[in-house]
Amino acid sequence: MTIEDLVQGTLQRRAEQVVDSGLPVRGAAARRRADSLRARRRAAGAALAGLAVVGGAVLMISAESLQGDDRNDGSELAGRIVSVHETVAGRTLIASAETTGGEDLTLRAGSARGTEWLLTCEGVSGDYLVHISVDGDEGLTAPCAERAALGDTWRFRLPSGSAVEHQLHLWVTHASDGARVTPADAVLAAAAYALPDPEATVAGADIYPLEENFGAEWRVLDVAESEPGQRSVTIEVPSYEGASMLELVSSGSGPGEVRLVVDGERVHTDPPVYVLGGRSIGDLITGGEPHRVTLYIQGTVPPDARLGIVVRGRTP
């Protein structure tokens, strides 16, 4: 299995801007996280589960719930250029690493519950690329940035399974010719977090109690899920004081396109289509009024297709 096979559907860079769609939903461009590999493989009965994403401080996992090697005492974080939080949206730090001067970075970590990885390449312009290899499989790249926080370059999840531990390797090249370089100002950083127990499973995807986006944490307010083979699922969202965030998930065999409708109007986001077997987090519904949200499959509906809508609210 190549790295593309493993994480292409679960990796996606956070966009730099939120695009206003003109509807009561703001586009998921700020953080669209495709999770197609997990949903499809789980629906097919494989042991793979994948995805998603993160940020600030939060719900601590009790010591009793941690595996012995899942805990980190935080001593390694002193003197870091890139800030590393010991907890992120209910995830607990297992291990982290940082290199300067563009030197390669290697980090090995794992958790029996699966791991979420946050990576960054910062300090240099987009003339440089960071390359990622997981367990020896490589091929994914992203531009470096002069200023970036941990997780801005890559975010992905690796499931629990036969290989609890995984080895990450990062290195820098020129974007123009692919030559390996060690730019003096480049900083590579990575952190691995143990995933918490899911609150629910919707359309084959684990739904966690907290997710981070837009600099805040979001808790689960309500969930709707279709029956297998149904074309659509709808949820009535009551009037909340503040904006709500949608987490959209789907599963099903074969290719397919999924669309989002809010209050009878199709939402135009970038990209405009949600992939069947994927996950997206980041569409915001305006507060102060109720909304009717529908997710539907365009075209042929596979008999094993399932759709799910998770409504999240900002934590106090």
Confidence check: pLDDT of 220 > 60: yes
Confidence check: pLDDT of 316 > 90: no
Pair (187, 204) in one structural domain: no
Contacts of 282 (CB under 8 A, 6+ apart): 18, 27, 28, 29, 30, 31, 32, 33, 213, 214, 245, 246
pLDDT of residue 153: 93
**Model pLDDT for residues 235-285, shown as the tens digit of each residue:** 999 999 999 999 999 999 988 899 999 999 998 876 667 899 999 998 999
Of 280, 272, 276, 212, the C-alpha closest to 21 is 272
Q: Which of 164, 179, 194 lies at the terminal end of a domain, its last residue?
A: 194
The CATH number that applies at residue 292 is 2.60.120
pLDDT of residue 159: 81
Kindly state whether residue 43 falls inside one of the protein's structural domains.
no
Judge contact between 276 and 255, C-beta under 8 A: yes
Kindly state whether residue 235 falls inside one of the protein's structural domains.
yes
Cα separation of 78 and 61, whole Å? 22
Pair (173, 220) in one structural domain: no
Pair (224, 175) in one structural domain: no
Residue of higher predicted confidence among 98 and 48: 98
**Which domain does 257 fall in, by range?**
200-314
In total, how many domains does the chain have? 2
Percent of the chain with pLDDT over 70: 74
pLDDT of residue 46: 20
Confidence check: pLDDT of 33 > 80: no
Confidence check: pLDDT of 2 > 80: no
* Residue 183 CB-density burial (10 A; 0-12 exposed, 13-18 middle, 19+ buried): middle
pLDDT of residue 113: 87
| pLDDT tier at 201, thresholds 50, 70, 90 | very high
Judge contact between 162 and 123, C-beta under 8 A: no
Pair (185, 246) in one structural domain: no
Q: 37: helix, coil or strand?
A: helix
Q: 3: helix, coil or strand?
A: helix
Confidence check: pLDDT of 71 > 50: no
Whole-model pTM over 0.95 = no
Q: Average model confidence (pLDDT) for the chain?
A: 78
Q: 144: helix, coil or strand?
A: coil
Q: Which of 167, 194, 221 lies at the terminal end of a domain, its last residue?
A: 194
- Please state the φ and ψ torsions of residue 101, each to the nearest 5 degrees: 70, 20
Pair (96, 161) in one structural domain: yes
**Residue 40: which H helix or E strand, with range?**
helix 36-43
Q: Which of 194, 219, 246 lies at the terminal end of a domain, its last residue?
A: 194
**Model pLDDT for residues 114-124, shown as the tens digit of each residue:** 999 999 999 99
